[in-house]
Amino acid sequence: MTQRPIKDPLARNLVLLRLIPRFPRSISTVELRDSLSAEGFDINLRSLQRDLSGKLSTLFQLVCSSEDSDEDVRRARPYRWSFAASAQTTVPVISPAAALAMTMAEEHLRHVLPPTVLGLLDPHFNEARELLQTMEQNGLSQWSRRVRVVPPVKPLLPAVVEPKIWDDVATALLTGRLLKGRYLSRAKAQPIEMTLHPAGLAARGATTYLIARVGNFDDLRHFALHRFIDVVVTDEVADDRGFDMPAYLKSAAFSPRISDEAIVLDAEVHPQLAWALAETPLALDQTLQPIEGSEWHSLKVVVPEDQEMVTWVLSQAERIRVIAPESMRTRVANRIRDAAASYSPTISS
């Protein structure tokens, strides 16, 4: 049965505004018409152009290519549309509660996303801050000044990613298109040209990675976005082989497994660490028991034997002593011995 076109002009304009990107990105009137048609709205190009250049341009900060300073751009058809780069919002004004959520999200995302990506959200963050500043007597305004997200470890500054590279990678991933680009890996002195089948994106610490297959190879690899020299989104359909992010992460993709089997970590922990683990355990089956005749506690917990686990044990330094398994005890002891050796001149003095 053929779906009847939606006639509601308000609904159409709300969808239309959602389709228009922020400058420097843009979208043509033809692309807008086709996207509206896919959403169930029937409108011709002339009417669409009239809506955009008329009421909508007076209510929203819309930019048309016909107003560009470049004569070639002005003459190009069809016209292209964007929200101004400084536009405060592309949606109705947010609520105070949503504004608070935005300010808290900004604090957290500063430790996750690169500055170029955060820049895309700046207009929304600015709008949230301005709204809260106008509510001096509101509890939400007080909260936003008194609450901060504090990272548990020293955060590194995010790696710098070119805005176009981030935008093209995201576009290819969301539209299921092949990417072609040049990539500078740590192992190579020169950029490598490659064709990629995007499968997912993962932010790990200060670096964001594209998870993708290369050409006709079957294995998935990680590509740090800041190491791309350039990328191009093609018209070819990518094959992600039914990629499943949760299953992929469980496969220890970002934390290499030392062993495929889980281990029972048996350790003695300092009372301060025991207190912390009692409140925030390593796993649900964790047990902590006082050691007779000592302030220390006995810790037993089933954990994966991966690099993250070794790093956590090493980060506790003098507050934990690994008893078993022997493989973990030996690995940690060797790392501590090697680290101490690098300080030996200072220690001996």
10-residue block means of pLDDT along the chain (349 residues)? 56 80 86 86 87 82 73 68 75 61 75 67 76 60 66 74 84 87 83 90 82 89 90 89 82 66 90 92 92 93 86 89 91 89 68
DSSP bridge partners of 254: none
- Strand extents, DSSP E, 159-225: 177-183, 192-204, 207-214, 220-224
Res 265: pLDDT: 92
Say how far apart CA 126 and CA 170 lie, in whole Å: 24
Res 242: pLDDT: 86
Q: State the DSSP code for 55.
A: I
Q: Which residues of 293-330 are buried (b: 16+ CB within 10 A; e: fewer)?
A: eeebbbbebebbbbeebbeebeebeebbbbeeeeebbe
Rounded alpha-carbon distances, angstroms, from residue 301 to 285, 298, 309, 332 = 6, 10, 12, 17
Instruction: Please count the other Cβ atoms lying within 10 Å of the Cβ belonging to residue 106.
Output: 19
Res 299: pLDDT: 94
Say how far apart CA 226 and CA 56 lie, in whole Å: 37
7 phi and psi angles, rounded to 5 deg: -95, -15
Res 321: pLDDT: 93
Res 349: pLDDT: 47
The DSSP H or E segment spanning 321 is strand 320-324
Say how far apart CA 303 and CA 301 lie, in whole Å: 6
